[in-house]
Amino acid sequence: MYIHIHRNTMFARFGILLTIINIALQVESVSIVSVSPSGTHKTIASALATIPNDSSAWEVDIAPGTYVEQISITRAGPITFRGQTNGTPSSYLDNLVTLAWNQTTASGVSDEATSALMVNTAQFKAYNINFKQLWGSKFAGPQAVAVSINADKVGFYQSYFFGYQDTLFAGVHSTIGRQYFKGCYIVGAVDYIFGSASAYFDSCTIASNGPGHLTAQKRTKSNDSSDAIKSGYIFNNCRVVADSNTNGVNLKAKVDLGRPWSPYARVVYMNTYMSDIITPAGWGSWYSVTLGDYSNVQYYEYNNTGPGSWSQNAAARASVNYTRQLTASEASAYSLKTWFGDVSWI
Ligand SMILES: *[C@@H]1O[C@H](CO)[C@@H](O)[C@H](O)[C@H]1NC(C)=O
Ligand SMILES: *[C@@H]1O[C@H](CO)[C@@H](O)[C@H](O)[C@H]1NC(C)=O
Ligand SMILES: *[C@@H]1O[C@H](CO)[C@@H](O)[C@H](O)[C@H]1NC(C)=O
Ligand SMILES: *[C@@H]1O[C@H](CO)[C@@H](O)[C@H](O)[C@H]1NC(C)=O
Ligand SMILES: *[C@@H]1O[C@H](CO)[C@@H](O)[C@H](O)[C@H]1NC(C)=O
């Protein structure tokens, strides 16, 4: 069992050695609150309400079930959501916990306020949870988000995201946060991974359920080379495919890898399989927003495979003057460690 050890303010008086010990204790101490449809806490929100708003680390252990709730994370300290699975939770296919919500911007709220989960403070992690924007099953707009993230050091592991337009809002505001997605499955059609974050998609499946655009990245300035955290979306070792349910639509050459939400949009795909849903030109345009100036867009590809990849559509790709292939040494700047620098939070 886990025991929560409260921060002992006495340590502060004994100098640096004891401070280090105290930090070690804090890292190891995680309190757990359990949620179950038949337990004391029947909703995730009621479990969250019992957690102190301080720097202590907490975990919400969630029993199998579908929780139709809208959750906003605003507490100061680290918090982890862990969905129970049967057996070893090695894949999103093992998930038994779903957090769902059904709302669109037509209800008069902002895009992010339609989300099932809104992460507004740092150090949130989720393991083995399905996040569903139920509106997505209508296979139509308007915007309706499953998860929006406006925070640094956020991780999702073996999680599943479902929507149609605007599934995953990675970076709501211009403050750039680091976000890591490992072994996730992300479904949508239009701009379904979008925003300003520094987001790394590692071994994920990106699955379209309608014609549209995988990404709408929103890097807003050119001069970020010295910034500690740089805006951009990196897809490494991923798969870009059609979802198993496309509402009967044949998506062949109906999807692009992204369209720029801002003039400095940065997106990199590397070591990734691209199916034939990707248009030969690969990338889309968003003339109304960028006013046709694509000279600062950074859309890069490296070592991808499959019928939608550069190597199998070279002439069409070369006709797009805001994308190019990276060399091996350029691509090394987008490895996980080089991109984030400090990966201890992952
Ligand atoms: C935690 O405290 C911050 C700062 O006062 C506040 O903005 C936030 O809403 C609080 N969150 C919770 C869950 O109480
Ligand atoms: C979502 O809400 C709409 C009404 O606003 C309804 O028509 C639809 O069936 C709901 N979807 C689900 C999956 O509950
Ligand atoms: C960086 O560029 C933005 C506009 O893109 C500008 O507002 C800002 O002043 C620049 N910062 C520096 C340090 O040059
Ligand atoms: C190219 O990508 C494949 C995966 O599709 C990987 O196995 C291989 O190591 C990559 N090659 C280089 C040079 O990075
Ligand atoms: C890129 O191509 C477009 C037409 O697709 C053209 O209008 C634009 O001037 C070109 N930009 C550069 C920098 O060559």
CATH code at 313?
2.160.20.10
Atom from ligand 1 closest to the CA of residue 51: 13
Distance (angstroms) between ligand 2 centre and the Cα of 222 equals 41
Cα–Cα dist 231/198, whole Å: 4
Q: Looking at the domain assignment, is residue 253 inside a domain?
A: yes
Q: Looking at the domain assignment, is residue 10 inside a domain?
A: no
Cα–Cα dist 319/253, whole Å: 16
Q: Cβ(271) to ligand 4 under 6 A?
A: yes
Distance (angstroms) between ligand 1 centre and the Cα of 124 equals 14
Q: Looking at the domain assignment, is residue 255 inside a domain?
A: yes
Q: Cβ(227) to ligand 3 under 6 A?
A: no
Instruction: Please give the distance of CA 316 from its chain centroid, rounded to a whole number.
Output: 29
Q: Looking at the domain assignment, is residue 15 inside a domain?
A: no
Q: Looking at the domain assignment, is residue 27 inside a domain?
A: no
Distance (angstroms) between ligand 2 centre and the Cα of 144 equals 12
Task: Let me know how long the chain is.
Answer: 346
Sign of CA dihedral 82, 88, 89, 94: negative
Count other Cβ atoms within 10 Å, centred on residue 103.
17
C-alpha distances (whole Å) from 128 to each of 62, 85, 88, 155, 233 are 10, 8, 11, 11, 22
Q: Looking at the domain assignment, is residue 323 inside a domain?
A: yes
Higher pLDDT, 3 or 103: 103
The answer to whether residue 89 scores a pLDDT higher than 60 is yes
Chain segment 288-340, per-residue pLDDT in tens: 666 678 999 999 999 999 999 999 999 999 999 999 999 999 999 999 999 99
Cα–Cα dist 112/287, whole Å: 24
Ligand nearest to the CA of 306: 4
What domain range includes position 195? 59-340
Ligand nearest to the CA of 121: 1
| Lowest-confidence region among 6-15, 17-26, 333-342 | 6-15
Cα–Cα dist 252/268, whole Å: 22
Q: Looking at the domain assignment, is residue 302 inside a domain?
A: yes
The total domain count for the chain is 1
pTM summary value: 0.91
Chain segment 199-214, per-residue pLDDT in tens: 999 999 999 999 999 9
**pLDDT score recorded for residue 29:** 80
Q: Looking at the domain assignment, is residue 328 inside a domain?
A: yes
Could you give the residue ranges of the DSSP H alpha helices within the chain?
15-28, 44-48, 287-290, 314-318, 328-331, 336-340
User: How confident is residue 42, by pLDDT bands cut at 50, 70 and 90?
Assistant: very high
In order, the DSSP letters of 261-273 are SSTT-EEEEES-E
